[in-house]
């Protein structure tokens, strides 16, 4: 792991406050991986600084950017010396490796993820912490989000009830958790093996499904995140659909192989149903893209 720029100074600031914050309940580590995001990373970081909930630290990981992203991050952090922040860099190894390295360095009881091209609403952490405080059995909590595109804002619904428990079976048929919407106990995410660093796609879905299999996963109907990512089939994303489908099928096989060590079994019949349902969704998406 390489350290560059003013990281040592920033790290010292984190360490000066770490013991105090670790003793406080609901201390959150915000994890932000980035790669060639010099045009959007400042927006993401600023959205964290605007949070009404202040008991957090930020760990950022530059995944081998070739643009000015690292310098942009350093300049942004310098404007907020009171914020506990750590900016790291590694050779390009993908977002899963970047997130995992940040998680392992986290001081927080909880981990909240943010992508470098998305942003949080100011009440994001506050609202989720309020829910966690009133429901101490929740291990993983996600939310709905807004999609911003061409000056239009679209609501992306995953659930419409206030608070919904998401089971292992639910996760087999629908991807409920967008990574920037998630807050999760660090101990839980480590116990479930972190993000699979060998996967290019669907690694977040696999991890959150594993968590729902073993722990208490919930969704709130609050809209707490703005994402600027386009839907499948737009801006060249259609070329990734085949890869995404491949990894979704591999996820099912991986979950089936782990049956022996879990109470929630994925039977051979349910496996076949999941594979078939996934292929039907895949064909539908290909048709939609072809008709655009």
Confidence of residue 14 (pLDDT cuts 50, 70, 90): very low
Q: Are 209 and 171 in contact (CB under 8 A)?
A: yes
1: CB partners within 8 A, 6+ apart: 88, 89, 90, 101
**For 172-199, what is the mean pLDDT?**
97
Please report, rounded to a whole number, the percentage of residues in the chain having pLDDT higher than 90: 75
Using the predicted structure, report yes or no on whether residue 127 has a pLDDT greater than 50. Answer: yes
Q: Quote the pLDDT of residue 20.
A: 42
Q: Are 97 and 62 in contact (CB under 8 A)?
A: no
Q: Quote the pLDDT of residue 240.
A: 83
pLDDT digits (tens, 9 = 90+) for 220-263: 999 999 999 765 545 444 568 889 999 999 999 999 998 766 67
Q: Are 109 and 118 in contact (CB under 8 A)?
A: no
Using the predicted structure, report yes or no on whether residue 22 has a pLDDT greater than 60. Answer: no
- Tell me if the pTM is above 0.85: yes
User: How would you classify the pairing of strands 140-149 and 152-156?
Assistant: antiparallel
Q: Quote the pLDDT of residue 239.
A: 61
CATH of 7-227, picked from 3.40.50.1860, 1.10.220.10, 1.10.3720.10, 3.90.550.10, is 3.90.550.10
């Amino acid at each position: 792991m390489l350290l560059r720029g003013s990281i040592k100074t920033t790290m010292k600031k984190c360490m000066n406050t770490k013991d105090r914050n670790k003793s406080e309940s609901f201390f959150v580590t915000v994890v932000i991986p980035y790669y060639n995001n010099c045009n959007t990373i400042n927006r993401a970081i600023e959205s964290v600084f605007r949070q009404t909930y202040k008991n957090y630290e930020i760990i950022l990981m530059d995944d081998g950017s070739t643009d000015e992203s690292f310098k942009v991050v350093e300049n942004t952090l310098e404007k907020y010396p009171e914020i506990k922040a750590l900016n790291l860099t590694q050779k390009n190894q993908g977002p899963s490796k970047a997130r995992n390295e940040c998680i392992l360095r986290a001081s927080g009881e909880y981990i909240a993820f943010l992508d470098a091209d998305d942003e949080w609403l100011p009440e994001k952490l506050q609202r989720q912490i309020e829910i966690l405080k009133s429901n101490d059995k929740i291990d993983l909590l996600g939310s709905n989000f807004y999609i911003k595109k061409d000056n239009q804002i679209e609501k992306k619904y995953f659930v419409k009830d206030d608070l919904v428990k998401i089971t292992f079976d639910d996760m087999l048929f629908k991807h409920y958790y967008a990574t920037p919407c998630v807050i999760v106990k660090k101990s839980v995410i480590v116990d479930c093996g972190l993000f699979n660093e060998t996967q290019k796609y669907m690694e977040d879905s696999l991890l959150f499904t594993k968590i729902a299999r073993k722990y208490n996963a919930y969704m709130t109907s609050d809209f707490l995140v703005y994402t600027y990512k386009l839907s499948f089939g737009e801006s060249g994303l259609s070329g990734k659909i085949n890869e995404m489908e491949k990894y979704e099928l591999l996820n099912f096989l991986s979950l089936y192989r782990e049956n022996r060590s879990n109470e929630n079994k994925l039977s051979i019949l349910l496996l076949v149903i999941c594979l078939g349902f996934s292929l039907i969704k895949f064909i539908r998406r290909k048709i939609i893209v072809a008709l655009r």
